[in-house]
Structure 1
């Protein structure tokens, strides 16, 4: 025994283990390996500490056990490390069970970091894809789209959270889902499925990034950073984010190191651009709002990763936002009837209205065809039926309060009191209801402006009249002390004001329409 031995020596021995790249891990399942890479994320759990490791070949997680404590506290995100461990299967993913981890420094670390950076930069470069339709507008947006697609692919490799904030209507939802599906698909092919939680699609009830939304996003992001070591996110504003009303929320998030990207088809205000990393908007290249956010995000998503059936989202968004012209080619691509597309847009908006602030990805994905096809048809038929019934009932009652006036310039002004002639908190909401009334009236009048008003808001729809609603808002703000704000498209939008000044605001608005 050792106690009986007078002389002995303890010698440390080491075993030669193969050094591999992450892309080779599949071939070494169950074996001891060594790998070197960059830590992109550190997650502390009740059990192991999970390190996300990146090298030239891909991403893998490494689990280090330290009795419930933070393992290797000297190792943080962005460090270069050498790991010795066993490659194991964890559900559908591979994971390294760490036996040793060492932080590398100096020239070796720099060389590895530079090598990874150069290779990942190439991997982030989106493939060239032809647009689904021929369009000079889209071609003029291509360079900007490529940059945004690269930024989003890069966020996956860097384990950076991506918040997709989109408007709640059919166009906004189709836009958000297009980006969500392509990013999740890209993660499946290039990273661990554990990283899917970093893609967060969220709904905005307002047609801009309001302070209520940014406070939630910011608080959640800071909490995740504190608890799990998450990075400050890349925020993508979809179907909003182009106006001055977005700036207060954007500015607040920027203070904490976020980057903001806008993908929108509302008329843009140049002031917002100085706050954005990138801004994709058809107006910037001679287009207009007919190029919906759903179209822009569908085409962009194909640069991130191809997802079967994604073109259906573009077609639904065309009907959801009543777009026309060249973009109607997307309808021909999907091989379904116009009635089915209209019903899908209605079903999405009906469900979204009652979901309020919840994104409810699984239900929404089912309605949009990313689940069982038989169930999708039933869902769309049921929900669109409820939506149509609700619309007809509300239109019937609100038409009793309709007031029509022919202005001196020949424009017919239709005013509907949605406060007193429609149910509250019931589908359709005031904006949708105003649009439905307008669609019925425009069959009778060539030059028409419809205003649906409530105690502190006015919703505007127009046909055959060249309005500039953002300009109206700016002028009203100067002319009357009523807390006026709002915006939207040039010919479709909304205005907010204080209730005490409703009569003054509506009178001045009618005068401006009369002077066109």
Structure 2
């Protein structure tokens, strides 16, 4: 066919049911389904949704003048093995800019047929709606008939003048009533969402809470949660018109509708819906609360191995696991924040591995895991006002634009010291729940800035041999013990040195020897540096859970080459000093490192300490207006900064991150500040 050779000049109307039926390179007409921080979800057909990543856009995502339900044109870039569809931007965003249109109907005879005009689309291509669809009479008034009935009426004879006059005299429907729809009565027997598989084709009654509302180009879709699960309920009054406008997120409702199976996803076609109040609402709320508590609370912590530091925070781990599970059951988004380090990525990926299956079990929508779980790396181990402002802006946009609940923010390996108090406080002002999980240093005062904190040190335990990745993997197994075997190798990956033997053995039993875990650690560390603000979900998953060896080996080789080269040049330019009987090695990282290439300063200094630990009591890396200190001994970084600030009170010396050993100062007083910090550190170490 001639049209096949000009697919780049036409758009296609996709009427298939599976992503693998799409053709890469073709332009398709789609509908905006929703937004995420990384891009736009576009429905190409019922049950087939693609992601237009923000990197594919020709403008900032925030500047797009699109709303859910809008028609857009996109190009299919790639269909992955797991069914995910990657889309790219089409500069043409109207039918007139294409040379034509074709039907892509892989399961029917219409495949390849031309679509003549926008107004002559095949009305039978979509599913027949059973919910009321307003039709306009000649005088502009609305009459509720089903699409099934309206289709039949196209072949029926026109009504006589007398019949029309009779109808007009008995029906006084106003334009304002077009969005009104039937309310559910108190009659009928309620069923649970978890039983809907057994009721396909039946009209059922549901009672529960509305957890999200989205307006499409056709129906309004209410996501209803009862004590057993969540299901989409489509209510249609007119294309693109909001049905039941009084029903909002958090409304407790009764809903009657027919259960349908659309491309392997359950959906209820709403026939009647009403908001419950008083005793009826209280009964449903109590039912939901009891079910949440029973389902969310883990029976016990699921330790990967016996570890005293883990035992010390067992109750805190159960509380944190309950909070995460409750968020999933409440259809509350979970936002995980972790440092952009190997340990941080291991910790975040462990939580992700546990939570995504729970979200997919709870929600029928295929893309629910992208709507209800986000993992955002942080460049440093402090959750500051910049990070919090970013998160608050996004969560308020999602609340106002997509009717989402405020999220649970889970800070892993960050947020545990008072340097993060301002950021945590901003989240708290807006009512977002905050849980901090960190195996290393923590301040007791942070407990007042968050809802829960899991830290062995605050529990009085010695956590010197515990990584945050190990603590988070234990939390993940407690959240979802079905993934426990997937997590067995993660603790060994999270340690750069001195890995406890129990975790080495655990990884080996899972098929990961020391060389393999080292490869994974190095590969994650390298990828953590590049685009540090991106979660790289699929890539990290491939590395940590699905790689047979080739990917991690390739990346870790680059890691070693880059790190070895930087360590070599840095070592050649170290200034060694003897201060107070201690050997101090000072590196000007501004002058003798590649500041905008791998490795980052913190990782380079960590490696220098591992390699030169016997030769140096203290290593200091100096930048333009900050420095990092490294030592094998216990050193109070906040105390060092305080002592130095007293000695040079006009240098603006302050502890920026005690977890990273980072101290800031004014660049104009660089030399005086550096000398003061070194003197203070030596005094405390001597």
- Please report the TM-score for the alignment, with normalisation by the length of structure 2: 0.69
Deviation of residue 478 (structure 1)?
Answer: 4.2
Give the deviation of 1:476 after TM superposition. Answer: 3.0
- The residue aligned with 1:334 is 507
How many Å separate the matches in 2 of 1:70 and 1:462?
Answer: 62
Cα shift at 1:93 = 3.1
Q: Distance in 2 between matches of 1:478 and 1:251?
A: 29
1:227 to 394, 397, 401: 401
Correspondence for 2:468:
293
Give the aligned partner of residue 189 of structure 1.
361
- Displacement after TM superposition at 1:435 (Å): 1.7
Alignment of 1:262-301 (within 5 A): 262-285=436-459, 286-301=461-476
Query: Which residue in the other structure is 1:124 paired with?
Result: 296
| Superposed displacement of residue 367, structure 1 | 0.9
Matches within 5 A, 1:252-263: 252-263=426-437
Alignment of 1:449 onto 2:623: no
Q: Give the C-alpha shift of residue 130 in structure 1.
A: 3.7
2:538 pairs with 1:362: yes
The answer (yes or no) to whether the contact 1:473–1:487 under 8 Å persists in 2 is no
Q: Is the 8 A contact 2:301 2:317 kept in 1?
A: no
The answer for the alignment partner of 1:431 in structure 2 is 602
User: Residue 419 of structure 1: SS of its match in structure 2?
Assistant: helix
Paired with 2:236 and 2:652, the residues of 1 have a C-alpha distance of 58
Q: Choose which of 661, 665, 669 in structure 2 pairs with 1:501.
A: 669
1:350-370 C-alpha deviation (Å, 9 max, x unpaired) = 11211221111001111112x
Please say if residues 493 and 517 of structure 2, whose CA atoms lie closer than 8 Å, have aligned partners that are also in contact.
Answer: yes
What is the CA–CA distance in structure 2 between the aligned matches of 1:89 and 1:477, rounded to whole Å?
67
Q: Kindly indicate whether residue 563 of structure 2 is the aligned counterpart of residue 394 of structure 1.
A: no
> What SS class does the counterpart of residue 298 from structure 2 fall into?
coil
Q: Which protein is bigger by CA-based radius of gyration?
A: 2
SS in 2 for 1:309: helix
| Aligned equivalents of 1:489, 1:120: Cα separation in 2 | 38
Q: 1:482 to 1:70 in 2, by over 3 A?
A: farther
Alpha-carbon separation, structure 1, partners of 2:656 and 2:468: 17
Asked if the contact 1:391–1:428 (Cα under 8 Å) also holds between the matched residues in 2, the reply is yes
Query: Does the residue aligned with 1:97 lie in a helix, a strand or coil?
Result: strand
State which of 63, 79, 84 in structure 1 corresponds to 2:251. Answer: 79
1:17 Cα deviation after fit: 6.2
- State the Cα distance separating 1:175 from its structure 2 match: 0.8
Contact residue 301 and residue 314 of structure 2 kept, 8 A: no
CA separation in 2, counterparts of 1:406 and 1:43? 67
Further displaced range: 332-341 or 160-169: 332-341
Q: Which one of 537, 544, 551 corresponds to residue 379 of structure 1?
A: 551
Secondary structure class of the residue paired with 1:72: coil
Question: How many residue pairs get matched?
Answer: 498
Alpha carbons of structure 1 residues 507 and 328: separation in structure 2 relative to 1, 3 Å = farther
For the 8 Å contact 2:444–2:458, the answer to whether it is kept is no
The 2-side partners of 1:343 and 1:299 are apart by: 22
Structure (1 or 2) with the greater helix fraction: 1
What CA deviation, in whole Å up to 9, does each residue of 1:400-437 have, x standing for no partner? 2112223333x221111211111121111111111222
For residue 235 of structure 1, report the CA deviation from its aligned partner: 0.8
Cα distance in structure 1, aligned partners of 2:217 and 2:356: 26
Q: 2-side partners of 1:97 and 1:127: how far apart?
A: 37
Report how far residue 158 of structure 1 moved. Answer: 1.3
> Following TM superposition, by how much is the alpha carbon of 1:88 offset from its aligned partner in structure 2, in angstroms?
1.8
Residues 108, 514 of structure 1: alpha-carbon distance in 2 compared, 3 angstrom cutoff: closer
Q: In the alignment, what sits opposite 1:236? A: 410
Q: Give the alignment partner of residue 314 of structure 1, picking from 491, 495, 508.
A: 491
Scaled by the length of structure 1, the TM-score of the pair is 0.91
Q: Secondary structure at the match of 2:590?
A: coil
Q: How far apart are residue 39 of structure 1 and its match?
A: 1.6
Match of 1:203 in 2: 377
- After superposition, the C-alpha distances for 1:307-353 in whole angstroms (9 at most, x for unaligned) are 1411222221123xx354xx442121011222221221111111121
Query: 1:192 & 1:405 partners in 2: Cα distance?
Result: 64
Separation in structure 2 between the aligned mates of residue 300 and residue 280 of structure 1, nearest angstrom: 10
1:469 maps onto 2:645 in alignment: no
Q: CA deviation at 1:473?
A: 2.5
Residues 112 and 27 (structure 1), Cα distance of their counterparts in 2 relative to 1, 3 Å cut: same
1:172 positional shift: 0.6
Alpha-carbon shift at residue 134 of structure 1 (Å) = 1.1
1:129 Cα deviation after fit: 4.1
**Which moves more between the two structures, 309-318 or 283-292?**
283-292
> 2:242 matched to which residue of 1?
70
The answer to whether the 8 Å contact 2:641/2:677 transfers is no
Task: Using the TM superposition, name which of 197-206 and 130-139 deviates more.
Answer: 130-139
Q: Give structure 2 stretches of 5+ with no counterpart.
A: 1-158, 172-181
Structure 1 pair 436/214, CA: closer, same or farther in 2 (3 Å)?
A: same
Q: Secondary structure at the match of 1:261?
A: strand
Residues 48-82 of structure 1: CA deviation (Å, up to 9, x unaligned): 22222122222222122232122111112222211
In structure 2, how many angstroms separate the alpha carbons of the residues matched to 1:382 and 1:420?
30
- Partners of 2:230 and 2:642 lie apart in 1 by 50
| Structure 1 residues 63 and 509, CA gap change in structure 2 (3 angstroms) | same
Residues 235 and 260 of structure 1 are in contact (CA less than 8 Å); yes or no, is this contact kept in structure 2? yes
Equivalent residues of 2:424, 2:449 under 8 A apart? yes
Structure 1 residue ranges without an equivalent (≥5): none
Distance 1:91 1:180, change over 3 A: farther
Give the counterpart of 1:134 among 267, 281, 306.
Answer: 306
Task: Please name the residue that 1:150 is paired with.
Answer: 322
For residues 25-104 of structure 1, what are the structure 2 equivalents within 5 Å? 25-66=196-237, 67-104=239-276
Question: Tell me, what secondary structure is at the counterpart of 2:489?
Answer: helix
Q: Report the Cα distance in structure 2 between the residues aligned to 1:110 and 1:323, rounded to whole angstroms.
A: 55
3-state secondary structure, aligned to 2:274: strand
Taking the aligned partners of 2:655 and 2:498, their CA distance within structure 1 comes to: 22
Q: What SS is found at the alignment partner of 2:388?
A: helix
Distance 1:312 1:420, change over 3 A: same
For residue 485 of structure 1, report the CA deviation from its aligned partner. 2.9
Alignment match of 1:347 (pick from 508, 523, 526): 523
1:412 aligns with 2:583: yes
Q: Aligned partners of 1:262 and 1:431: how far apart in 2? A: 22
Partner of 2:91: none
